[in-house]
Structure 1
Amino acid sequence: MDPQQLGFTPRRPVGWLAPLLLLNTGLRTLLAVLFGAYLDKRELQNALSGESFSQPGTDGELWFDYVADLGDGFDPTYSVAYLLAQPGLEIDGRELPRGQVLLMGGDQVYPVANGDEYENRMKGPYRAALPEPPAAGPRPTLFALPGNHDWYDGLTAFLRLFARRKDGHIGGWRTQQRRSYFAVRLPSNWWLFAIDEQFGAYIDDPQLLYFEKAASGLGPDDRIILMTPSPTWVKAAKKPGAYDAVDYFIRTILAPTGAQVRLLVSGDLHHYARYTGEDRELITCGGGGAYLLGTHQLPERLTVPPKETLTRSASRSRDYELATRFPSAADSRRMSWGIFRRAPARNPGFASMLGIVHTLTMLAMAGAASQGGIFQRLFSIPLVFMLVVILAGTVMFAQPPGADQNKHARHWILGLLHGFAQIGLATAGAWAWLRLPFHDWAWPGPLIIAAILYGPVIAFLATQLLALYLLIASYFDVNVNELFAGQGIEDSKSFLRMHIAADGTLTIYPLGVDKICRRWQPDPDGAPDSSWLLPKEPLHARLIEPPIVVDGPVIGAGAPTTGDAAPA
């Protein structure tokens, strides 16, 4: 795959435990939290066009797709893009046509937003999947909602890519939106509202005015699909205030119209999960290409809004049951044990950092124990300093910046226990080192041998100890994200294909990709709208669960059901 021919450089998956990336992402998250209000461009978007959009479909019917968390490594991102771009997918003997609308639900690029990363990690792969508008049928339209990674530069690159004023397109998909949020009228009294929360803080006044105008014509016969950047209904189980902004929007903008919100959909958590209630579905589908996040610790039941919220005028709390998750809880638990194998392979930089820290700590311990020569003592880093570095690092690691839950004592306890375990490993290493002949050699001989022989061995052992910590900590709901981010699992992707029938029935097809494709072959003789790269190994999507059917008339409608309703 020559970048000169493709027009972009296929990227490897992000190594989320790389030391410089951890530092960079942590600083960007901190800056975004501290100075996000100063970088917030949503107020300025009031000067842009405030139109809502219409997607009437064909003969009163519309097929549309949803994908989120996509711009990571090339293979998983392009695998999903390739499936989305095909004219149709054969699923259980049924043909599901390509969506006339593609909805991107957030985090279109990793690890941070800039023009080059968007080009190589998202725009390039999607252009390669659908280079030109389809020869048959209408040109599909793409709408995108920013996630937290899109926000790290204040939406500058996001707006340049998705909100161009003229001739905006990404391959065969055209772009129409002018802001980071949008409202789209769909067939049969369905509407799509996509809100931009900016790190879950609040919804700005220009955005509220935009949606007030879009909702002015809604009535009791209308139904709403609400897109959010993050599944705050799940996060509110640990942080009750997380859902407040979404609840405020529903309560003040949508509820007064009498329209019913039948579906909330989001990405951000890199898996598929559906919670079902009396008249609403809550779906998380963040499987567009980023590393897989486990599902075995999802709560079995949610109360939304949570009763613990401090908002006095919150909506009536409703209970939702976990109906389906992908991967399954059993598969998720099994995958979590892969940290021992994948952590060293996926994160060589992090392993090297641990090796350096442990080698310096061992030399400091050995120097303190043996009282070596003057040059060795001058070179050795003070032992107390190294111990403080280890303990501070493990405690900070247990409480990562931007964690989606309040800090608890267990974070401190587990961080300190992890630190003492690493110090214990360093002590054992120093004990073994002092029993080898190398420490008696003339300086700097011990340093050279330690770097060549001791460093790689202790780096592997320290990484395995870290893996053990992550596995144990996950049972206390600490560092669960790091447990899976450190593995970088590329399989088990997911996206949604949805259909609005002429009678107003919404059918949701949750599609899973058990195994992505990692070997591709060019197709130079393909049609202008065919994918540039074809899979050299099987690449199939399947139903994660039976289609979810949100039935016809709004008034008096029962709860959504699952079934085998065939597409029209």
Structure 2
Amino acid sequence: MVRWFDPLILARTGVRSVISATIGKQADRRLLDALAAPKVEPSDFSVDAAGNPRQELWLDYVSDLGDGWDSTYAVAHTVARPSLTVQDETGKTYDTHGGELLVFGGDAVYPDASVKEYEERTIQPWASAMRGQRPRPHLFAIPGNHDWYDGLVSFIRLFCQERALGGWTTHQRRSYFAVKLPHGWWLIGTDMQLESDLDDPQVQYFQEVAKLMNKDDRVILCLAEPAWLRAQVRTPAIRLHQENNLDFLQHQVLGKKVSVFLAGDLHHYRRHANDAGQQKIIAGGGGAFLHPTHAPRKQRPLPEGFTARKCFPSATESRRLCWHNLAFLKHNPRFGMLTGLLYMLLAWALSTNIGASTAPKALSLVVSTALGSPGVVIIALLIILGLIGFADARFGRLRPVVGVLHGLVHLLAVFLIAWGVSYLVGPVLDLPFRSLQRDLVSAALIFLGGLVVGPTLMGLYLLISLNVFSAHANEAFGSLSIPDWKNFVRMRIDKNGRLWLFPIGIRRVPRSWKPGSTVREPEWVPDPADKRATPPALIEPPIIV
């Protein structure tokens, strides 16, 4: 799994994010793709190869994949099976079949987009899982924000050039698509880009597609992120922009035909529905780290009577998992190296003999020494300013206060560690002040103190922020890199034109694999010795539209 608090990954992803935001504003790749493929030609899967109307069709929706091997491969291995019998909470079983269509719902790779990352984290796991299983599914994909980190170059190369790779066959020519399905159903995939914006060629594309729809046709709409839930945590301006985009597409372009909304971006399963039978489903469990389901704690009412129906994991389980942040160092050892280095540099720059002093006198001496040292003041200010910037926008007007308090806690920790080390190397070990031996021992001990205390304080901060204030949802669970609680949605259009939605979850993915024994098996299969792994099961009974 990607270790999001690894300083090198943080730096690399930050740079990629800035570059992609600049590219997205100045050079929108979607405009070029629209010029390269001007025709509006939806893929037609409403008929078979002989031109006869299909009576039924199976398809799979997987989003937010391409992270760790165990999580990504576990989902791919499950999707690749020709048939799958799953059980719901009541014990009732259902026979399902691998989808002829496969939909990637955004963020097909982490931490950033490149041909190398796609190959290692997405294509190889899926190709290994598909080997010897069933005919290649027809793949359609939409990009998420991580797919945009290289300006969409790698995504277009892999998914929009009608290639056969990774165990699938691609058809689309743009980063969005339209597919005609049996019995008047349509599958629509959008590309909202980093600015959460619908470009004009995309609007024109879907307007032309809408002209091909009959009055009673219905739409499954795939979005890169759930605007209806993201609106709970975004600023009013961004929230209004996203809601306007979705409302415009749904009502003005497609003509109120959307029966099912599918989205990823949040790495869990959550379903909202209204009394009219419309479904809004988040299924971002294709391989990326788990996101919490217990935030935001207080939600604005969703429009059109949508209410929460199911989430996986439960809010109670999600809140319990957040406590693992107390072992932050275990999950993010390289972050500990960073805090150990910062603590050591800050304490070493002071270089005061406070070992024999009482706490008030030692603190007074440290403060007076620090104020007389511009370097120490600059380092302290940079730490505080950095933590103000890190504080979640959900704190609102208290964000600067939270950042300052967080920074002061770390500075207090540096003081207490330095005071304890000074006492140890002075009165206890009796090492001469400003001697090389004392300096080296002090530096090593302060580094070790920062290695343990810094990450622990960060974990405590994230725990309190999420479980008390519903803030830092992304950071508090990104720090844990949890590979479990995976999910995808298997769909079936039956001969009567009904759409069946099978939300399939994997509570704990296998951690051990062994080579497949025959050519009819995937390249790797779960090792039976891994007794803690759980089989795929229905998250809730099938939803019928």
Pairwise same-fold verdict (TM > 0.5): yes
Opposite residue 471 of structure 2, the aligned amino acid is: V
The DSSP-based 3-state class of the residue aligned with 2:496 is: coil
Shift of the 549–434 alpha-carbon distance from structure 1 to 2, 3 Å rule, reads same
CA deviation profile, 1:231-285 (whole Å, cap 9, x unmatched): 1110112332232212121122111xxx521111100001110011133111111
Q: Is the 8 A contact 2:23 2:151 kept in 1?
A: no
Number of the residue aligned with 1:446: 438
Number of the residue aligned with 2:265: 268
The DSSP-based 3-state class of the residue aligned with 1:435 is: helix
Query: 2 CA distance for matches of 1:139 and 1:350?
Result: 42
The DSSP-based 3-state class of the residue aligned with 2:491 is: strand
The DSSP-based 3-state class of the residue aligned with 2:46 is: coil
Query: 2 CA distance for matches of 1:151 and 1:408?
Result: 28
Structure 1 residue 496, shift from structure 2 partner: 0.5
Normalising by structure 1, report the TM-score: 0.84
Corresponding position: 1:523 with 2:516 = yes
Structure 1 residue 189, shift from structure 2 partner: 0.4
Query: 2 CA distance for matches of 1:299 and 1:496?
Result: 26
The DSSP-based 3-state class of the residue aligned with 1:416 is: helix
The DSSP-based 3-state class of the residue aligned with 1:113 is: coil
Corresponding position: 1:354 with 2:346 = no
Between stretches 20-29 and 192-201, larger displacement belongs to 20-29
Opposite residue 171 of structure 2, the aligned amino acid is: Q
Corresponding position: 1:433 with 2:425 = no
Q: Is the 8 A contact 1:360 1:381 kept in 2?
A: no
Query: 2 CA distance for matches of 1:129 and 1:104?
Result: 16
Of 309, 312, 318 in structure 2, the residue corresponding to residue 332 of structure 1 is 318
Shift of the 130–203 alpha-carbon distance from structure 1 to 2, 3 Å rule, reads same
Query: 2 CA distance for matches of 1:48 and 1:354?
Result: 49
The DSSP-based 3-state class of the residue aligned with 1:367 is: coil
Structure 1 residue 491, shift from structure 2 partner: 0.7
Shift of the 181–319 alpha-carbon distance from structure 1 to 2, 3 Å rule, reads same
The DSSP-based 3-state class of the residue aligned with 2:306 is: strand
The DSSP-based 3-state class of the residue aligned with 2:182 is: coil
Number of the residue aligned with 1:310: none
Structure 1 residue 76, shift from structure 2 partner: 0.5
Aligned residues: 505
Query: 2 CA distance for matches of 1:126 and 1:451?
Result: 48
Alignment map for 1:131-146 (pairs within 5 Å): 131=131, 134=134, 139-146=136-143
Of 15, 20, 32 in structure 2, the residue corresponding to residue 32 of structure 1 is 20
Percent of residue pairs identical: 36
Opposite residue 522 of structure 2, the aligned amino acid is: S
Query: 1 CA distance for matches of 2:415 and 2:434?
Result: 23
Structure 1 residue 381, shift from structure 2 partner: 8.1
Shift of the 68–430 alpha-carbon distance from structure 1 to 2, 3 Å rule, reads same
Structure 1 residue 60, shift from structure 2 partner: 1.4
Q: Is the 8 A contact 1:364 1:381 kept in 2?
A: no
Shift of the 38–200 alpha-carbon distance from structure 1 to 2, 3 Å rule, reads closer
The DSSP-based 3-state class of the residue aligned with 1:263 is: strand
Opposite residue 158 of structure 1, the aligned amino acid is: F
CA deviation profile, 1:58-116 (whole Å, cap 9, x unmatched): 74101111111101011100011000001111112321111111110000000110000
Shift of the 150–407 alpha-carbon distance from structure 1 to 2, 3 Å rule, reads farther
Query: 2 CA distance for matches of 1:45 and 1:288?
Result: 27
Opposite residue 483 of structure 1, the aligned amino acid is: A
Of 364, 384, 393 in structure 1, the residue corresponding to residue 377 of structure 2 is 384
Query: 2 CA distance for matches of 1:57 and 1:524?
Result: 37
Corresponding position: 1:55 with 2:45 = yes
Structure 1 residue 468, shift from structure 2 partner: 0.8
Shift of the 57–535 alpha-carbon distance from structure 1 to 2, 3 Å rule, reads farther
Q: Is the 8 A contact 2:410 2:457 kept in 1?
A: yes
Opposite residue 47 of structure 1, the aligned amino acid is: L
Structure 1 residue 544, shift from structure 2 partner: 0.7
Shift of the 252–494 alpha-carbon distance from structure 1 to 2, 3 Å rule, reads same
The DSSP-based 3-state class of the residue aligned with 1:268 is: coil
Structure 1 residue 30, shift from structure 2 partner: 2.7
Number of the residue aligned with 1:286: 284
Opposite residue 333 of structure 2, the aligned amino acid is: P
Number of the residue aligned with 1:189: 184
By percentage of residues, which structure has more helix?
2
Of 304, 307, 314 in structure 2, the residue corresponding to residue 321 of structure 1 is 307
Structure 1 residue 303, shift from structure 2 partner: 4.2
Query: 1 CA distance for matches of 2:233 and 2:156?
Result: 32
The DSSP-based 3-state class of the residue aligned with 1:71 is: coil
Corresponding position: 1:108 with 2:108 = yes
Corresponding position: 1:459 with 2:451 = yes
Corresponding position: 1:398 with 2:400 = no
Query: 1 CA distance for matches of 2:488 and 2:443?
Result: 47
Query: 2 CA distance for matches of 1:497 and 1:300?
Result: 31
Query: 2 CA distance for matches of 1:507 and 1:390?
Result: 52
Runs of 4+ in 1 over 6 A off after TM superposition: none
The DSSP-based 3-state class of the residue aligned with 1:429 is: helix
CA deviation profile, 1:381-423 (whole Å, cap 9, x unmatched): 8321221122122112214xxxxx6772232222111111111
Query: 2 CA distance for matches of 1:459 and 1:244?
Result: 47
Query: 1 CA distance for matches of 2:65 and 2:280?
Result: 20
Opposite residue 70 of structure 2, the aligned amino acid is: D
Shift of the 298–98 alpha-carbon distance from structure 1 to 2, 3 Å rule, reads farther
Q: Is the 8 A contact 2:142 2:175 kept in 1?
A: yes
Between stretches 420-429 and 232-241, larger displacement belongs to 232-241
Opposite residue 448 of structure 1, the aligned amino acid is: L
Opposite residue 270 of structure 2, the aligned amino acid is: A
Number of the residue aligned with 2:166: 171
The DSSP-based 3-state class of the residue aligned with 1:26 is: helix
Of 27, 32, 35 in structure 2, the residue corresponding to residue 44 of structure 1 is 32
Query: 1 CA distance for matches of 2:450 and 2:374?
Result: 18
Q: Is the 8 A contact 1:57 1:63 kept in 2?
A: no
Opposite residue 45 of structure 2, the aligned amino acid is: Q
Opposite residue 250 of structure 2, the aligned amino acid is: I
Between stretches 59-68 and 43-52, larger displacement belongs to 43-52
Query: 2 CA distance for matches of 1:269 and 1:234?
Result: 9
Normalising by structure 2, report the TM-score: 0.88
Q: Is the 8 A contact 1:302 1:319 kept in 2?
A: no
Query: 1 CA distance for matches of 2:505 and 2:185?
Result: 26
The DSSP-based 3-state class of the residue aligned with 1:296 is: coil
CA deviation profile, 1:491-529 (whole Å, cap 9, x unmatched): 1111101111111111101111000011111125322xx
Number of the residue aligned with 1:564: none
Opposite residue 187 of structure 1, the aligned amino acid is: P
Q: Is the 8 A contact 1:57 1:187 kept in 2?
A: yes
Number of the residue aligned with 2:406: 418
Opposite residue 42 of structure 2, the aligned amino acid is: S
Number of the residue aligned with 2:118: 118
Q: Which runs of 5+ in 2 are unaligned?
A: 49-53, 88-92, 356-361
Corresponding position: 1:227 with 2:222 = yes
Query: 2 CA distance for matches of 1:407 and 1:329?
Result: 21
Number of the residue aligned with 1:557: none
Structure 1 residue 369, shift from structure 2 partner: 5.8
